[in-house]
Amino acid sequence: MLKLGVNIDHVATLRQARYRGMDDGEPDPVAAAIAAEEAGAHGITAHLREDRRHILDRDVFRLREAIRTRLNFEMAVVPEIIDIALRLRPDICCLVPEKRTEVTTEGGLDVAGACDAVRDATRRLQDAGIEVSLFVDPDLAQLDAAARTGAQFVELHTGAYAEAWHSKRERNLQIERLAAAARHAKGLGIRVNAGHGLNLQNLPLLHLVPHLVELNIGHSIVSRAVFVGLQPAIREFLAAMQGYPG
């Protein structure tokens, strides 16, 4: 069964638009996480950025205590955040690139160009009993580098596929690229997740990509929730994921 991880960063973004610098505020991302679990989500994703633009330290520690499924902690490969992850003990850490100027993550982690640092971070996290995923573009060289780090998972960056949606030729090329990457990762013994830019329109075609374990989706769920509510939105995405052949 294909699993759904709900990214609650965008709930925190909405809170910070009004309550930045305050000790409380709405909407509460932890309450959103609990509601997501009740709607059938298989896990919760939160990205603690270095600049704390949305998710805050207090959020992730409250999440660790509150949720009953699986906490996926997205993070940059920097000492401060690694130390927080080791105290937090999430179920899995997804190592991602991070730029202060970007609105959201713009591309995959350059594992090949920073293999030693990524491998060292991976080992520290795994020694603490935390699984590790690497957010990478569907590039075979990056997947080969990911295998050298010892990470158990990769999360394939689906942004290029999402952006190509309105060109049938280009979106089919991107699907083929994702499928080839998933098969290559499987052959390397790495489990495969995917995410970024996925919505109810482009998600069904992703069923052509084999070996997927989990999709991590945030913005489109929160956007859809504006019109139908958070839990109905999550159920719509779960319905769109039904029938995935694996």
Asked if 196 is an active-site residue, the reply is: yes
- Taking the C-alpha atoms of residue 136 and residue 154, their distance in angstroms, rounded to an integer, is 7
Q: Where are the beta strands (DSSP E) in the chain?
A: 3-7, 43-47, 71-75, 92-95, 131-136, 153-157, 191-195, 212-217
Q: Which is catalytic among the residues 74, 98, 131, 155?
A: 74
Instruction: Give the HSE-up count for residue 170: Cα atoms under 13 Å, Cβ half-sphere.
Output: 9
Residue 74 annotated in active site = yes
**Nearest to residue 147, comparing CAs of 104, 178, 103, 192?**
192
47 is catalytic: yes
Q: Which two tokens stand for residue 38?
A: 């009740």
Region of 213 please: left (phi>0), alpha (psi -120 to 50) or beta. alpha
Q: What CA–CA distance (Å, rounded) separates 210 from 188?
A: 14
Determine contact, residues 152/133, Cβ cutoff 8 Å: yes
| Tokens coding 139 | 């590039």
Can you tell me the distance from the alpha carbon of 35 to that of 29, in angstroms, rounded to the nearest whole number?
10
Residues 18-48 as b/e (b if ≥16 CB within 10 A, e otherwise) read eeeeeeebebbbbebbbbbbebebbbbbbbb
Rounded Cα–Cα distance for residues 25 and 245 (Å): 42
- Out of 10, 47, 54, 157, pick the active-site residue: 47
| Catalytic residue (choose from 37, 184, 196, 214) | 196
Positions marked active-site: 47, 74, 196
